[in-house]
Amino acid sequence: MAKIIQFNSENEESHSCPTCDLILNYIEEIVNAETPEQLWESLEELVLDAKDLGVKEYLIHDIDSKVELLEYLENSCDCDQ
């Protein structure tokens, strides 16, 4: 428990990445869970949000790669179109 509180206080202001934000959004809820069911529900929500974040980051990377490829193809064409 002490490590969670230490993590929370150390990272609350110093980090601003999506992963840290996600953890910080759930840390209080997890620490304050009074029953195993509440803990399970909080952890389940955290996992679902983490999966959503992973998919979102993948899609952003995929789109960026495709934009770079499109720009490359447009700039490498010597035709008058």
pLDDT band at 63 (very low <50, low <70, confident <90, very high): very high
Alpha-carbon gap, residue 55 to 18, rounded angstroms = 13
CB 53 within 8 A of CB 18: yes
pLDDT tens per residue across span 4-47? 656 666 655 666 788 888 888 888 888 889 999 999 999 999 99
pTM beyond 0.75: no
